Structure formats: structure tokens, C-alpha cells
């Protein structure tokens, strides 16, 4: 009898407490505030910068050119190189595991500015190579998912956002962290650096997110946008006036660089996790709804849509002058006429779950152009730009889920799981 009474009392007490907390939650959601936002409402708090090492040379460095994800502000994935991509040999820089492949997103791409090469893995490991030798490595333990965005490298510095929502500025030569800033709860996208201004999209727990603009010369916040409605894994493309990006709420948006206000938005039929590519008049973006879209840059209206496989995360590579575009899905690699949305050529492949998320790049060597992309499960394929004939295949022991990294003197490969950094070089 005593046991039955105790069980009834325990159940009654627990139920009453649970119902009380539930009522309080819905009557006053700010009780559950998590710092940058609450569960039910977005409350922006100015980011705090934690200065670890002062650096008086930073302002000079900000004036120098940078190397960023997919090469330029238009995010076209177009690179000019100084070597023949058909005659390369594989060289392992080290055998350190970079990516464990434990998350479904595309992985960070290694970046080189000719002096330094920076790799950031999904286990929180940053590796800095100088003249192809390991110069510095550091392991950040803030997130078991590490880095998904690609580093920005300029002069002797690098900027990178961690999946924990922290942004880091590193002095690569001095092997120092200059500052760290908590800007949100996770970075799934790569920011854009323009002179001394950094534009970033960061996620918050709601799910929500916002876009921010920081003046890096004094770490001041220029503006922060209103909440964009859902997480944004889509690294922005940028022109003179706007940022262009997608989010997990199926929206693609144009936002003013001056004020952070939305200029236009369009809702598609699925989340947008890829990075847009742009020419002067149009934007090209893939969606999880299984399509590649061409949108008018002026207002977001759809020019055409091309059918791909569902859950597409590959970013298109485009040639703006010839209006050709290339994109991956789980069936293979597609060559598209950017004016009409018609398929010009197709190479059928059995893509792995990693490589179908990878993005192609266009390489120009002298007067000839090529397309390079992870393909099949363990290969990098080099295609002729015009005929789309497969010219060369480089094979590895694991697949890739990022783009091939490009330096003027070599290609950079970061593999999943058994993940060393490998160079393909003459």
C-alpha cells in the first residue's frame, strides 16, 4: 500500500511540475533565453570580441588581396592556373585525419594564397602549411563538428568560422590567435571579406539566423540584419550593392550591403544549402527540391529551372563569357546552357553520398579550359570544357565532399575519413 501511495505521489508531483513549467514557458518565453536569442523569439545581442593577441599590422594586411571560397565575389568557381591539369602527380603533405565525415553537410575546402595554405577540418583541426611544409596546427575543441566553412586567407592572416558559432582571426606567420568572437551558435557558411569589411551569415538556435557586417579594423559591428527566418548554410555571393544567399526555410534573398535590409526574396520548394554563382544579370543556385535555378538578379524572378536529383547541395561553376555552367548531383556531372537552362552534356556517374555534395571548378590553363570535380567515390575527374570528354582521372583511397582546392601551382585534395591533405602538382 505504501509503495502504491508513493508512486501516485511521485507521478502527481512530477505531472504538476511539468504542467506548471509548460504554462510558464508559453506565457513568458523570455524565461528560456539562451544569450543571443530566446527559444520563441529572436533577441540580438552585440557580439563580443575577445582579444587574445594584439596585432598592429592587421590594418595593412586588410588592404591586400584575399583568397576566398570559390575564388571571387561572384562565387563562380573559375580559376586561372599555371600548370597542365592533365599531368599531375600525387603528393601527401601529412597523414593527419582532417574530416571524419560525421555530418551531412559539405566540408571545408583548403585555401592557398601562394605563401600559406590553410585547411580546417570537421574535427576542429586547423593546419597551416608554408612552402608545402606544416608550419602550425591547432585543434579547437568547441564543437565535435569542427569547421564546415572555408577559411579566408589574406597576406599573413586567416579568418574562419567554427560550427560552434565562433569566428577566429589567425596570424599565420606568428602562429597566434589574434581574436575570437562569439557571433551565434553555428557557422555553416563561409563569410565574405571585402577590404576591411566582413559579411557573415551565422545560425542561432531557434532555428533562426542573421547576417552581420563587421569593420575588422576596429572590430565594430556596422549592422546586423533582422532574423532571416531559418539557418543559412549558403555562403553569400556579392556585388556592388547586395549580398545573395539562401536558407533552410526554402528562401533565397538579396540583402543590401549598406543597411542589411532585404531587397527581395523568393521562396523555392526546398532548402537552399549551396552557394550561388552570378553573372552581371542572373544568379544560379541549386536547391534541395532537386533543381538548378536561374534567377534575375534585379528581382529574383525565375528565368528557368533544370531538374537535378533531390537534396542537391552542389554549387554551380560558371563561365560568364560563354554562359556555360557545370553542377553535380547523385547521377553525375551536368553541363548546362546558362541562357536557356538546357543540358548540353552529361557524364553519368555513381556518386557517393560525399561526392554528390561536392562542387565542380573551372580551370583555365593558357588558352584552354577544363572542369575539375570529385567524381564516383574516390576519384577526381578532369573534363574538357568544350566537348565535356573525360580526359583524366586521379584516384584516392576516400571520397571528397568539398570542391577541389586551387592554387596557381597545384590542386589541393582533402579527403573524408582517412583524411590527409594531398597535392596534385606537376
For residues 81, 87, 92, 93, the Cα torsion angle rounded to the nearest 10 degrees is -30
| Predicted pLDDT at 328 | 94
298-301 own/partner pairs: CB under 8 Å, 24+ apart? 299/264, 300/252, 300/254, 300/264, 300/265, 300/266, 301/266
Q: What is the percentage of the chain residues whose pLDDT exceeds 70?
A: 86
Instruction: Tell me the per-residue pLDDT of 282-336, one tens digit each, with 9 for 90 and over.
Output: 999 999 999 999 999 999 999 999 999 988 889 999 999 999 999 999 999 999 9
pLDDT for residue 207 is more than 80 = no
| Predicted pLDDT at 28 | 38
65 vs 80, residue with greater confidence: 80
Nearest CA among 228, 142, 220 for reference residue 186: 142
pLDDT for residue 209 is more than 80 = yes
| Predicted pLDDT at 146 | 85
What is the distance between the terminal CA atoms of the chain, rounded to a whole angstrom? 84
Instruction: Tell me the per-residue pLDDT of 213-223, one tens digit each, with 9 for 90 and over.
Output: 999 999 999 99
Distance from C-alpha of 157 to C-alpha of 172, rounded to nearest angstrom:
5
Count CB neighbours of 195 within 10 A.
Answer: 11
Residues 345-372 have a mean pLDDT of 90
pTM equals 0.87
Contact 149, 190 (CB under 8 A): yes
pLDDT for residue 234 is more than 80 = yes
| Confidence grade of residue 212 (pLDDT, cut at 50, 70, 90) | very high
Among 237-241, 359-363, 414-418, where is mean pLDDT lowest?
A: 414-418
Residues 25-51 have a mean pLDDT of 48
Residues 175-194 have a mean pLDDT of 92
| Predicted pLDDT at 192 | 96
- Residues counted in the chain: 426
pLDDT for residue 150 is more than 90 = yes
Among 13-22, 96-105, 136-145, where is mean pLDDT lowest?
A: 13-22
| Predicted pLDDT at 48 | 81
pLDDT for residue 152 is more than 80 = yes
Q: What is the percentage of the chain residues whose pLDDT exceeds 90?
A: 60
pLDDT for residue 193 is more than 80 = yes
Mean pLDDT estimate for the chain = 86
| Confidence grade of residue 208 (pLDDT, cut at 50, 70, 90) | confident
| Predicted pLDDT at 41 | 46
Distance from C-alpha of 214 to C-alpha of 160, rounded to nearest angstrom:
14
| Predicted pLDDT at 36 | 36
Contact 375, 331 (CB under 8 A): no
Instruction: Tell me the per-residue pLDDT of 362-396, one tens digit each, with 9 for 90 and over.
Output: 999 999 999 999 987 789 999 999 999 999 999 99
| Predicted pLDDT at 102 | 62
| Confidence grade of residue 26 (pLDDT, cut at 50, 70, 90) | very low
Residues 342-363 have a mean pLDDT of 88
| Predicted pLDDT at 39 | 36
Distance from C-alpha of 386 to C-alpha of 380, rounded to nearest angstrom:
18
Amino acid at each position: 500500500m505504501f509503495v502504491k501511495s508513493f508512486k501516485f505521489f511521485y507521478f502527481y508531483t512530477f505531472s504538476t511540475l511539468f504542467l506548471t513549467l509548460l504554462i510558464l514557458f508559453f506565457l513568458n518565453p523570455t524565461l528560456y533565453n539562451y544569450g543571443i536569442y530566446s527559444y520563441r523569439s529572436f533577441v540580438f545581442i552585440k557580439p563580443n570580441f575577445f582579444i587574445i593577441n594584439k596585432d598592429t599590422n592587421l590594418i595593412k594586411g586588410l588592404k591586400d588581396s584575399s583568397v576566398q571560397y570559390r575564388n571571387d565575389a561572384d562565387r563562380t568557381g573559375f580559376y586561372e592556373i599555371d600548370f597542365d591539369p592533365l599531368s599531375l602527380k600525387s603528393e601527401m603533405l601529412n597523414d593527419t585525419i582532417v574530416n571524419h565525415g560525421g555530418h551531412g553537410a559539405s566540408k571545408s575546402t583548403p585555401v592557398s594564397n601562394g605563401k600559406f595554405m590553410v585547411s580546417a577540418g570537421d574535427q576542429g583541426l586547423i593546419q597551416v602549411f608554408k612552402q608545402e611544409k606544416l608550419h602550425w596546427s591547432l585543434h579547437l575543441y568547441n564543437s565535435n563538428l569542427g569547421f564546415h566553412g572555408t577559411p579566408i586567407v589574406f597576406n599573413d592572416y586567416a579568418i574562419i568560422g567554427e560550427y560552434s558559432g565562433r569566428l577566429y582571426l589567425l596570424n599565420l606567420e606568428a602562429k597566434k590567435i589574434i581574436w575570437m568572437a562569439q557571433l551565434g551558435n553555428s557557422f555553416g557558411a563561409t563569410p565574405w571579406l571585402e577590404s576591411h569589411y566582413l559579411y557573415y551569415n551565422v545560425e542561432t538556435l531557434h532555428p533562426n539566423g542573421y547576417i552581420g557586417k563587421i569593420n575588422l579594423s576596429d572590430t565594430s559591428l556596422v549592422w546586423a540584419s533582422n532574423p532571416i527566418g531559418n539557418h543559412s548554410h549558403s555562403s553569400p555571393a556579392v556585388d556592388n550593392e547586395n549580398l545573395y544567399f539562401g536558407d533552410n526555410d526554402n528562401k533565397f534573398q538579396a540583402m543590401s550591403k549598406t543597411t542589411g535590409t532585404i531587397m527581395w526574396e523568393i521562396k523555392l520548394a526546398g532548402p537552399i544549402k549551396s552557394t550561388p554563382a552570378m553573372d552581371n544579370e542572373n544568379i544560379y543556385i541549386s536547391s534541395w527540391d532537386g533543381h538548378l535555378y536561374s534567377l534575375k538578379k534585379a528581382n529574383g524572378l525565375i528565368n528557368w529551372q533544370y531538374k537535378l536529383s533531390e537534396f542537391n547541395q552542389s554549387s554551380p561553376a560558371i563561365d560568364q563569357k560563354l554562359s556555360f555552367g557545370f553542377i553535380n548531383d547523385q547521377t553525375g556531372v551536368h553541363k548546362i546552357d546558362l541562357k536557356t537552362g538546357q543540358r548540353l552534356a552529361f557524364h553519368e556517374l555513381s556518386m557517393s553520398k560525399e561526392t554528390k555534395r561536392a562542387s565542380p571548378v573551372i580551370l583555365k590553363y593558357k588558352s584552354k579550359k577544363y572542369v575539375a570535380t570529385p567524381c564516383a567515390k574516390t576519384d577526381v575527374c578532369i573534363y574538357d570544357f568544350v566537348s565535356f570528354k573525360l580526359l583524366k582521372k586521379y584516384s584516392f583511397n576516400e571520397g571528397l565532399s568539398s570542391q577541389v582546392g586551387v592554387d596557381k601551382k597545384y590542386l589541393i585534395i582533402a579527403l573524408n575519413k582517412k583524411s590527409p591533405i594531398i597535392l596534385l602538382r606537376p
